[in-house]
């Protein structure tokens, strides 16, 4: 099971790196513009999945402050 997790992470990193390298080459060897970065679908998917799995909120605690019958 750990091997499959490792391979999926490695594949994700590889695909994002390929996408970024292609955007870099398409921009003439310069850093891509904001609009070009926003057009990288796999990178956006990886960022959204990371935000889903590793929430910046941490722990959300709720407490009942009013009794409901």
Global pTM reads 0.63
Q: How confident is the model at residue 2 (pLDDT cuts 50, 70, 90)?
A: low
Q: pLDDT tens digits for 29-64?
A: 898 888 888 899 988 888 888 787 777 776 777 777
Angle at 11 between CA 9 and CA 17, to 5 degrees: 105
Find the DSSP H helices in 1-69.
Answer: 2-26, 34-38, 41-53
Q: How confident is the model at residue 18 (pLDDT cuts 50, 70, 90)?
A: very high
């Amino acid at each position: 099971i750990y091997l499959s997790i490792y391979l999926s992470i490695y594949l994700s990193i590889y695909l994002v790196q390929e996408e970024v390298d292609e955007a870099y080459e398409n921009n003439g060897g310069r850093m891509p513009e904001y609009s070009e970065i926003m057009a990288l679908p796999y990178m956006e998917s990886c960022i959204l999945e990371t935000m889903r799995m590793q929430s910046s909120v941490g722990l959300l605690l709720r407490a009942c402050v009013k009794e409901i019958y």
